[in-house]
Amino acid sequence: MYNNNFLLFVFCLWISSSSSSCPNGWTRHDASCYHFSHDTESMPVAAIVCQQMGGLLAEIESPEEGGFLSAQAKSLNHDFWIALSDIQEEGIWLWYGSKTPLATTGYKNWANHEPDNYNGDENCALLGKSAGQWWDNPCHNFKRYICEKTDEPGEIVG
């Protein structure tokens, strides 16, 4: 007969081996892992860096996800590139990775009077640190960025 401590140990081992976890330097929220960069890149280079790390620039699909990312940006006190751009056609905002038009999604969080394409050179979107809203910015500016990838189950051994 097994004692209760042994059964508890086996149960905890089983849970930890079958549960999901994010890599070091990534933060879990719901079914995704997020990396908040410490370096700055232009938006196109940030997208490449995210791909090299196995993810994509973050696409914000819900108020809950937006709230989580906004809280992180505010606590880190930085603006971050997200995967939103109208570089292909002015005024038609697409999520960079999925190519989904923003107009077809149910969630938007533009700051007042944004996007405004100031000086005709703002084609990429930032998640702002103060109010957590989005604003357009020149894609060549160097900013921090948020990468996102699906939180995949860990390997089950045995």
More confident position, 102 or 3: 102
Helix (H), strand (E) counts: the chain: 3, 8
Cis peptide before 153 (omega within 30 of 0): no
How do the domains of the chain map onto residue ranges? 23-150
Cβ neighbours of residue 47 closer than 8 Å, sequence gap 6 or more: 56, 57, 83, 96, 97
How far lies 19's CA from each of 24, 64, 80, 151, in Å? 16, 22, 29, 10
The answer to whether residues 154 and 20 touch, using CB atoms and an 8 Å cutoff, is yes
According to CATH, the superfamily of the domain at 23-150 is Mannose-Binding Protein A, subunit A (3.10.100.10)
pTM of the model: 0.82
Each residue's pLDDT tens digit, 44-84: 999 999 999 999 999 999 999 999 999 999 999 999 999 99
What is the DSSP track for 14-40?
HHHHHSB-PPTT-EEETTEEEEE-SS-
Segment 131-138 shows an average pLDDT of: 95
E strand or H helix at 57, and its extent?
strand 56-57
pLDDT confidence bin for 153, thresholds 50/70/90 = low
- Check residue 152 and give its pLDDT: 67
